A and B are shown apart, each in its own frame.
Chain A
Amino acid sequence: AQKITQTQPGMFVQEKEAVTLDCTYDTSDPSYGLFWYKQPSSGEMIFLIYQGSYDQQNATEGRYSLNFQKARKSANLVISASQLGDSAMYFCAMREGGIQGAQKLVFGQGTRLTINP
């Protein structure tokens, strides 16, 4: 069963606009973490933002924020004021389990974001 679903294979956005990348997840574990990574063409996976299942507030990191809706099992990434350098693949990932959980990330298929000037 697919645990992480990213329904947008590709998105095109005008520079300076805000963009929302969708991610839904499936787990029965009460303790889990949700991650967003950016992968430019160079291949490196760049950590953007993290949300723990017990976190009360939505995570924010600079221009990145995570719209965490626990009941809907969604963890959408919001990029404000997009820049040309934001063009890349974006992956949503989940890790289940707390202290006994293995450090295993399950990834979605990714969304290719293209920022147009």
Chain B
Amino acid sequence: KAGVTQTPRYLIKTRGQQVTLSCSPISGHRSVSWYQQTPGQGLQFLFEYFSETQRNKGNFPGRFSGRQFSNSRSEMNVSTLELGDSALYLCASSLVPTGLRNTEAFFGQGTRLTVV
């Protein structure tokens, strides 16, 4: 069973540019979440998509956006890049909880974005 796939693995962009990151969840998983990891702030939640709808959003500016397609693949877009956007961006996929039980979340290898 294939895991969560994120592309590209590494990216270098200049300030002011925009970038699109991709995440393909585990087959059958319909929820995709995105996280930003930096040395200073740690791991922070960006947003979550389920059935092509954004269900929850973290405290990030509107330059950060995303979407989910009908096959559950998700993309994250960052416009007008700033130096502070340099980070490891991680995507996680999970089954939708049933009943009261939470379910496991599995991460991809991440995309390391460097803004220069």
Q: How near does chain B come to A89, taking the closest CB pair, in angstroms?
A: 10
- Give chain B residues whose Cβ lies under 8 Å from the Cβ of A50: 102-104
In chain A, what residue has the closest Cβ to B37?
A: A43
Given contacts A44-B109, A44-B110, A98-B97, contact A104 B43 (CB under 8 A): no
Contact status A47-B94, CB under 8 Å: no
Q: Is the interface of B mostly helix, strand, loop or mixed?
A: strand
Q: Chain B contact residues (Cβ within 8 angstroms of A): what range?
A: 20 to 34
Q: How far is the CA of A45 from the CA of B92 in the complex (A)?
A: 9
Binds A, one of B11-19, B48-56, B75-83: B48-56
The 3 tightest CB contacts between A and B, nearest first, are A33-B102, A102-B56, A45-B107
Given A98-B102, A99-B99, A104-B58, 10 additional A-B pairs, CB 8 A: A32-B102, A44-B107, A44-B110, A45-B90, A45-B92, A52-B102, A95-B102, A99-B96, A99-B100, A103-B92
Chain B interface (Cβ < 8 Å from any Cβ of A): 31, 33, 35, 42-43, 45, 48, 50, 55-56, 58, 88, 90, 92, 94, 96-110, 112
Chain A interface (Cβ < 8 Å from any Cβ of B): 31-33, 35, 37, 42-47, 50, 52-54, 91, 93, 95, 97-99, 101-107, 109-110
